Amino acid sequence: EIRGPEVWSMIKLMESGAGSLSTTHAANAYATMRKLITCAMESGPHVTMELAASKLADTIDFVVQMRCEIVRNTRPGTVGRKVRRVSEILAVETGEDNKRYSLTSVFRAVKGQCGVADTPPPQPVLEALIENGFDYAGFLAEAEANPRRQP
């Protein structure tokens, strides 16, 4: 979990590896990158906003925002259970002139619907996801089978 200047170590590890996963807490998917840049700048004056942003854009492919909600059971006397769901996925790319970063919405859950995105993934991102094992046909079939189902 990234909470401070250790993000700089995370970046170095991500640059030298084939894949990784890190977590942090942010209000939404877009705020995640701003938070990580701020945390990287806590490493010292050698880490500028531009350096942190470009390094993060080079090492992070996706930001996946999760939300936690309580699902109530329908039987009397039972307690609800926590369910974690993906609320948004952003693709992270290097910005113009290799400065900063660019975020593209790949998926955003629609309130009151399960498995439905209000924005389709951009074609190059979708192709890369499918190439790496994402079952897009299964995703669409699940969305079609559960239209407007309350989460």
How many whole angstroms separate alpha carbon 41 and alpha carbon 36?
Answer: 9
Going by C-alpha positions, the residue among 12, 38, 14 that lies closest to residue 25 is 38
User: Which structure tokens are listed for 150?
Assistant: 């309350």
pLDDT tens string, the chain, 151 residues long: the values are 999 999 999 999 999 887 889 999 999 999 999 999 999 999 999 999 999 999 999 999 999 998 877 777 766 766 767 777 788 889 898 888 766 898 988 877 766 555 555 566 778 888 888 888 888 887 777 667 665 443 3
How far apart, in whole angstroms, are the C-alpha atoms of residue 64 and residue 97?
A: 26
Q: Which two tokens stand for residue 89?
A: 């996925």
Phi/psi of residue 112, each to 5°?
85, 0
Identify whether the C-beta of residue 105 lies closer than 8 Å to the C-beta of residue 93: no
